[in-house]
Amino acid sequence: MSSDSQGVRKAEVRLKWDPSPWNQPPHHLDIIATTYSSEAPHGRPVYVVHSDSRSPDGTINMGRHSQTGQGFGYVEVMTLELDRLAPSFARVVVGVAIHQNSGPKTFGDISDAGVLVVEGYTELLKDDFAQVSESTAATVAEFTRHASGVWEFHETVRGFDSDPVGFSAEMGSTPQP
């Protein structure tokens, strides 16, 4: 959680990966965020934000999107203005999915993949997907709202074997033992 009593107010999720070799189809990864209501914090998402989309109220935006990984550093960025989310939201889950259009790919197949979650200059999470190298998608962060209205960050690196559409539906589920 953020070090001040205000909790996490505005977070940024950044994603990087190396482009595929010149004779291979491009690797395409996406940041995906799902929002959950206070009435069903582990139910169906109220809405999903991904590539070049934004939330209906403008609080979650994909500011930078890459379909190839080309560029310097983090090539895909999503901003979450948690302090502006309506009180009806209790949970936001953020993950990364690999498009499977050119055959099965896991995080272990993608070189130099990494995710960074920051609030201002404070690093909340930095991960290279090594612990989910056999997965095609992974959750990375969960933000939950307390009754006081303060948002708290939780690191939730957990692998899935899904394409982006299936992952969007299951990423907020409760982990099974």
pLDDT digits (tens, 9 = 90+) for 157-171: 999 998 888 898 899
First to last CA, the chain: 25
Nearest residue to 124 (alpha-carbon basis) of 70, 62, 80, 65: 80
pTM, to two decimals:
0.92
The whole-number pLDDT of residue 6 equals 80
The whole-number pLDDT of residue 49 equals 93
